[in-house]
Chains A and B, each alone.
Chain A
Amino acid sequence: MVGIVTYGSYIPIYRIKTAEIARMWGDSPEHPEKGLNIQSKSVPGYDEDAATIAVEALRNALRRKNIPSEKIGAIFVGSESHPYAVKPTASLIAEVIGSYNAHAADLEFACKAGTAAMQNVYAMVKAGMIEYGVAIGTDTSQGQPGDALDYSASAGGTAFIIGKEGVIAEINETVSFVTDTPDFWRREGQRYPSHGGRFTGEPAYFKHIISAAKLLMEKMGTTAKDYDYVVFHQPNGKFPYRVGKRLGFTKEQIDPGLLTPYIGNTYSGATPTGLSAVLDISKPGDRILAVSFGSGAGSDAFDITVTEEMERFNRDAAPKVWDMIKRAKYIDYATYLKFRRMIVEVD
């Protein structure tokens, strides 16, 4: 049995209300909530980045179940906001946990780099190359001020340790679907990403998620009714309901893992953190479908079953996702720009 052995998330404490962003840019204050179903988004503190978020998430995972550092054979960190353009985040993680013999690498695939990390670690464990591996999805994503992404691009991350021993959530199967669809991108040297507007919807998000989900369910012989929970990539608070409806899922299956209305889109952290929120409340036997989406474009789908081991697992040893969502400090737009280093230079 290969699956999740422990997991942990981290969401920065700072939030900005989307009405405050709308006030700044002359949009109607109800616009982001009505149009995108996002009321606030998380903002990293001035001293936080994708690496610090990754460390905090991984430490939360290790608080729940300590895995000896020498048994961790792989570290993959998925992010589109690695602190360095050249210099890995994964080596920092290896140093922090003291796993000096781990295979370590950074991944980038827009919002699905976190699930790509999960697949890599899953494969290495399944192949018997490693005993345990770390997969992290983390981001401090940036939208250009005034752009539609300004309402959603946020910060957060989740770490999974995947192995064969003490599995709390078995990964029954994982599949992917990928095409060359440039719905969102950032060219080298450009500060902010660009996107194709409504083109990011049907040909990108919906097509890839539906294709990957259908492929997985066909392979597993399941329908939407077989799952207790479903987590979709959540660039806004509306798409997951829409794609869910088309695949036959209900609001009740979606809601526990839908975080974007409160913390925005944590990019590589989004699907992993939605899954983390579901694991926070799940019981043995619960079945979960998780489907990420990364622009450019691809989706990774996971069929997961919670095991009896969850009964013995110390979930309370680290903060749960919804507790972190509730612990929030609201800041204004100017502070947001300062924290995101958009109006200040390094001194």
Chain B
Amino acid sequence: MVVPRFWRERRYRYNLIGTRCPECGTVYFPPRNVCPKCGRKSLGKMEEFQLSGEGKVYSYTIVHQNVLGFKYQKPYIMAIIETPEGPKITGQIVDVEPEKVYIGMPVKAVFRRIAEDGKAGIIQYGYKFVPDWNKMELEKEGT
């Protein structure tokens, strides 16, 4: 049974904590120890940065053939979410019918079970996304 591999990421996954480069201000998620833009100048200086959990669908797909552990969620929606802070994040979109998802759809992060190590192992929690219904309604009113 695997514990530390998931345990060490818990803070980042529970609260969408990434890193920010103090040299150029770029925010990264997942966290990086080196800023790809600033290289060595950023080493040892990267700061933790928590994302708001808001975002929009940048791209998505409906998965019919799953990776291990996702069999009973088929078909499920995977998406890349653009965040206002900068980074894009890969995650599931839940609580919505696949046919209602579109590129540009406002979403927000929620706390869910992601995977579990069999019936006896640990449960791994983290982020998924759900439609931000309030924002969608505001958008509708706007048009």
**Interface residues in chain A, defined as those with a beta carbon under 8 Å from any beta carbon in chain B:** 13, 45-49, 51-52, 55-56, 59, 83-84, 87, 92, 95-96, 98, 327, 329, 338, 341, 344-347
**Are B15 and A96 in contact, CB atoms less than 8 angstroms apart?**
yes
Sample of 5 A–B contacts (CB below 8 Å):
A47-B94, A48-B112, A55-B111, A98-B15, A346-B118
Interface positions of B from 101 to 128, Cβ below 8 Å from A: 110-114, 116, 118-119, 122-123, 125, 128
B95 within 8 Å of A by Cβ? yes
Partner-contacting stretch, out of B27-35, B57-65, B67-75: B67-75
Residues in chain B near residue A341, CB distance under 8 A:
72
* Contact A95–B113 (Cβ < 8 Å): no
A contact face: mostly helix, strand, loop, or mixed: loop
Report yes or no: B15 in contact with A47, Cβ–Cβ below 8 A.
no
B6 within 8 A of A: no
* Neighbouring B residues of A45 by C-beta, 8 Å: 94-95, 112
- Complex contact A13–B95 (CB within 8 A): yes
Q: How many residues of B contact A (CB 8 A)?
A: 24
CB neighbours of B125 from chain A (8 A): 51-52, 92
**Complex alpha-carbon distance, A168 and B52, angstroms:** 26
The answer to whether A344 and B111 touch (CB under 8 A), given A13-B95, A52-B125, is: no
| Interface flag for B11 (CB, 8 Å) | yes
Q: Are A95 and B72 in contact (CB under 8 A)?
A: no
Residues of B within 8 A of A98 (CB): 15
Which residues of chain A have C-beta atoms less than 8 A from B113's C-beta?
47-49, 52
List of B residues within 8 angstroms of A55 by Cβ: 111
Contact of A345 among B95, B119, B128 (CB under 8 A): B119
| Contact between chains at B11 and A83 (CB < 8 Å) | no
A52-B112, A52-B113, A96-B15 given; A83·B95 CB < 8 A: no
Given the complex, which residues of A lie within 8 Å of B69, measured CB to CB? 346-347
Q: Is the CB of B111 within 8 A of A52?
A: yes
Contact in complex: B95, A329 (CB < 8 Å): yes
> Considering the chains assembled together, what is the distance between the CA atoms of A345 and B11 in angstroms?
28
